[in-house]
Structure 1
Amino acid sequence: MTDRGGDGDGGAREASDGDEASGSAFDDVTRRLVQRLPYGVKRLLAVPYNHVQRVRADRAFARRAREFQSLTPGADAPRHVVCVVVDALRADVVDAETTPFLADRRVASAVTPSPWTFPAVTSLATGRYPHEHGSMRQSDDVDRGATDLVIPPTLPDHERTLPEVFAAAGYDTYGGFAFHMPFFALGGRFATNRVYDDAPADDVLGDFLDWFDGRRDGRTFSYVHLGDLHEPVDPPAPYWDRYDVDDSIEGIRRWRFREEAHPGHEGERYRDHRRRLYRAAATHVDDRLAVLRERLPDDVALLVTGDHGEALWEQTSLDRRTFHDSRPAYGIDHGGTPFEAIARVPLAMEGVDVRSGGGTPSLVDVAPTLLDALGQMEALATTGCSLSRGVPGDRVPLVEAARYGHEKKAAYRDGWKLVVSRGDDAAVGFDLPDDPGTTAREADLPADVEAALYDALPPWPDGSDPERRVSGMAQQRLEDLGYV
């Protein structure tokens, strides 16, 4: 049931062609055997499978840590850093009514470097864009990801990430992942790794707090990835009641009416209640985060963000007529066209000073910001900026590394946005609203802005690094989450 390649540490493995061919053949046989098992058997096997993955990831970190060069935290470095990523958390869901805990701590709306998890969390942990770290789809083809689960290359073993810098500075590190996709990207980069099968926030945060409580007197860095807003969406019953979500609507926990701009009365009712369900889940997560904060010490540095947002039919017509989606799913979910509902995520912070600086924050700024707090700004070569020093007003944030359809890239400047798909032969300009909850309007860009944004777009993927298929067990887990 191997899915990590080589020694299972998520890094690149050097091997002969014969070794690679042999390993690939073994994986293919294992995958076929697992796929033939009854679903219930696969679910039972998930517990030992996850345990094996955790052990392998912990061992991989231990091997990697032998080569760390010791670093010294700054005099003002926080003793505890907790970074929580809420999967599919869009910026405009953070308001005083829906998510009061996050609203009280919100410092900015940020742009994600990618519209799906794997490249986005790799960018968060490295401070670099997907075209720089390489953990993105390696082809501009329409994509086979809608029917066959292929994931990008992980970071090479020798490349360091944010948690590894904190580990080198004497921090005990923890990575908790509610489901497998973020673990595929970052597993093995923490001293303690935990991965689950679409576990609810209570389970993921509870296990983290059990780990944390025994380390209060030391120094810790923690990354916790929650999946409650990701398909299938199913918060506890009181939250369904609070938002008056009709549980009898067929398939309400998953995506339906994925293509039609005007799906009729039944479709509109489904969409209305699906939006309500999303807010219900967001409120549930916000409540769990408030409980988490009560259990943490007063001097903790806490950061909460999303890896990407979630589209809820804001621009279905534009998406369908302009871009190809291999699922197909237009104007919903994530992983496709980086409309603002997907590209914008909230940044909520406590215990870290933040300055505006005039520019638009990006998730590539998370690593340099926390490194700045540690007093080790130079420990990683990052593209991002420390939010404690401010984002330059002329910085051009980027979004790239789509999962579905042709590759799509976006760039921002002065309230304008350009989305380009070479494979679709399409380029669309947007006039961005001041309110992140308002849909951006399609617009003709000023000529100088359009030229500057075209120039800022990074190169398209050329297939130079191999993509990977996951094991049969892992594919079953991700199919349950709607990845295939």
Structure 2
Amino acid sequence: MNLVVFVSDALRTDHVGCYGARYVNTRTVDELAAGGVRFDQAISVAPWTCPSMTSMVTGLYPHHHGYLHWDAPLPEAPTLFEAAVAAGYDVGTFVFDENYLFKGLPHANVVGTSEKLDGAIAWLRGRGERPFLLFVHSWATHMPYDILHAERREWLAAKEELMVGIQSGAAGALETVHESYRRAVETMSESVLASLLGELDELGLRERTAFAFVSDHGESWGERFADKEDVKGIYHMHGATLFDEVVQVPLIVAAPGRLEPGVVWSQVRSVDLMPTLLELAGIPVPDIDGASLLPLADGTEDGDRLTFISGTDMGALSQLAVRMPPWKLIHHVDSGREEAYRLDVDPRERESRPADVPLELRDLLYLELESADQREISPEEEAKVEARLADLGYL
């Protein structure tokens, strides 16, 4: 079975029709969900791209693989790409910027940019009889919207304009940001994703291809900041916090003839994607943090999966959270401060109640913290991290 992974960066679940959005046209995503399995509570294990995407393709939590900034040492763990190549698959990866995502990662075979779909479609058309893994990471829904990242001057100017609007706190400016995002989501669904799925249909590949649609994290627009002037960059949109608007993501897996359409309501993790795809392809799954989602999809397993979420700051682990409904407990590494939210009665995470958290959940978090990779970051490394984040508009 062929494998296709489509990642829509910074996509909020509340802007996707099959997750309840009412005023955004995501018909193509919704049709994909109707023919596949939609995971209603999928949690990203990190709030920004670098650690999140690495977890997606290694099946390891960020605090285990240690790839917490763009210039960190590459993890030695096996990857989805490596497993696919070993099983005889052709692999092609298209990313937002070839200088960042999966750079130097063995077997990823980054062959082009995803800013336009031409390269990915040409790669698909060049396949022979061998099975393939196509991985597309799209920035169509990443701030700033509707501007190609390659057009650096225009991209930075658009990003700055959006930030000024958010910092103003003005209702009109925020609605402009929200409307730009809605248009970007519609473009992703009805142009980019629709074109890719249409090409699979044209080539007669759809019925023998497992297709995963997912996001690496969600998005925010300064809602958590009382003083909007404190919102300094994209890092404060996603990256700085572990609230659900940033870590809850859409996840849909469609595999004709292998998965019956349906909805899984239990909590799952982004580290579960790699083992799911490998099982669908009949490829052995290595010993990793994630586990295949197929037992949940076919009803042989039920219940929420315990999830850890890693927050980073300037390349170091800064927060570690455990999420197990109905609770989320967040530990701030440097200060030891805790936040805790009872999600069933406080879904917007407004009232922190650390004293009420079940003791066993706190014990699990602190035990996990002991296993975390907490390598010291030198001043030189920190300066390099800062420069790279500034180049991406995060600072």
Sort the TM-score into its range (normalised by shorter chain): 0.7 to 0.9
Matched, 1:395 2:308: no
2:351 to 429, 434, 442: 442
- Displacement of 1:174 after TM fit? 0.6
Distance (whole Å) between structure 1 residues aligned to residue 49 and residue 360 of structure 2: 30
CA contact (8 A) 1:81 1:301 kept: yes
What is the one-letter code of the residue matched to 2:327? W
Residues 253/330 of structure 1: CA separation in 2 closer, same or farther (3 Å cut): closer
The answer as to whether partners of 1:316 and 1:331 remain within 8 angstroms in 2 is: no
The TM-score, its normalising length taken from structure 1, stands at 0.65
1:251–1:208: structure 2 CA closer, same or farther, 3 Å change rule?
closer
Q: What is the SS of the residue equivalent to 2:313?
A: coil
> 1:286 aligned to 2:286?
no
Three-state SS of the structure 2 residue aligned to 1:269 is helix
**Which aligned pairs between 1:222-237 and structure 2 lie closer than 5 A?**
222-234=134-146
Shift of the 228–275 alpha-carbon distance from structure 1 to 2, 3 Å rule, reads: same
2:245 maps to 1:341: yes
Query: What is the correspondence of 1:197-346 to structure 2 with a 5 Å cutoff?
Result: 200=115, 203=116, 205-234=117-146, 254-256=162-164, 263=168, 267-287=170-190, 288-296=192-200, 297-299=205-207, 300-317=209-226, 328=232, 332-346=236-250
Q: Is 1:152 the equivalent of 2:72? A: yes
| Contact 2:66 2:373 (C-alpha < 8 Å) held by counterparts | no
Flag structure 1 segments of 5+ consecutive residues without an equivalent: 1-77, 138-149, 237-248
Q: Within 5 Å, which residues of 2 pair with 1:458-469?
A: 458-459=368-369, 461-463=373-375
The count of residues paired between Structure 1 and Structure 2 equals 360
Q: For 2:162 and 2:64, how far apart are their aligned partners in 1?
A: 34
Q: How has the CA–CA distance of structure 1 residues 445 and 206 changed in structure 2, closer, same or farther, with 3 Å as cutoff?
A: same
Structure 2: stretches of 5+ with no match in the other structure: 19-23, 149-156
2:42 — aligned with what?
110
How much has 1:129 moved relative to structure 2? 0.5
Alignment-derived partner of residue 416 in structure 1: 327
Please report how far the alpha carbon of residue 420 of structure 1 lies from its aligned counterpart in structure 2 after TM superposition: 1.8
**Cα distance between partner residues in 2 of 1:416 and 1:434:** 10
Deviations 1:282-317 (A, max 9, x none): 110111101210110222211111111111233223
1:101 to 19, 22, 28: 28
Give TM-score, length-normalised by structure 2: 0.79
1:353 paired residue number: 259
Q: Which residue matches 2:88?
A: 170
- Greater CA radius of gyration, 1 or 2? 1
Q: Which residue of structure 2 lines up, in the alignment, with residue 452 of structure 1? A: 361
Residue 116 of structure 1 aligns with an amino acid whose one-letter code is W
Post-superposition shift, 1:331? 9.3
**d(CA) in 1 for partners of 2:295 and 2:374?**
35
Contact 1:230 1:481 in 2 (8 A): no
Q: How far is the alpha carbon of 1:94 from its aligned partner?
A: 1.1
| Structure 1 residue 184: Cα displacement | 4.3
Deviations 1:404-451 (A, max 9, x none): 59711221122221122132442111222599xx63332425745254
Which whole-Å CA distance do the structure 1 matches of 2:278 and 2:159 have between them?
Answer: 43
Q: CA deviation at 1:216?
A: 5.0
Which residue of the partner structure matches residue 10 of structure 2?
A: 88
1:92 and 1:275 mapped to 2: Cα distance?
Answer: 12
Larger relative strand fraction:
2
Give the Cα–Cα distance (whole angstroms) in 2 for the partners of residues 454 and 90 of structure 1: 31
Q: The residue matched to 2:294 in structure 1 has which SS? A: coil
Q: 1:282 to 1:469 in 2, by over 3 A?
A: farther
Change (3 A) 1:206 1:454: farther
In structure 2, the CA distance between the partners of 1:466 and 1:211, relative to structure 1 (3 Å rule), is farther
Counterpart AA for 2:365: A
Helix, strand or coil: the match of 1:348?
Answer: strand
Q: C-alpha displacement at 1:318, in angstroms? A: 10
CA contact (8 A) 2:28 2:189 kept: yes
Look up the equivalent residue of 1:88 and give its one-letter code: A
Structure 1 residues 269, 357: CA separation in 2 closer, same or farther (over 3 Å shift)?
closer
**Aligned counterpart, 1:72:** none
The share of aligned pairs that are identical, in percent, is 25
Alignment-derived partner of residue 31 in structure 1: none
What secondary structure, in the 3-state scheme, does the structure 1 residue paired with 2:295 have?
coil
Q: How far off is 1:383 after superposition?
A: 1.2
329-338 vs 110-119, greater mean Cα deviation:
329-338
Cα pair distance change 1:195/1:211, threshold 3 Å: closer
Amino acid at match of 2:8: V
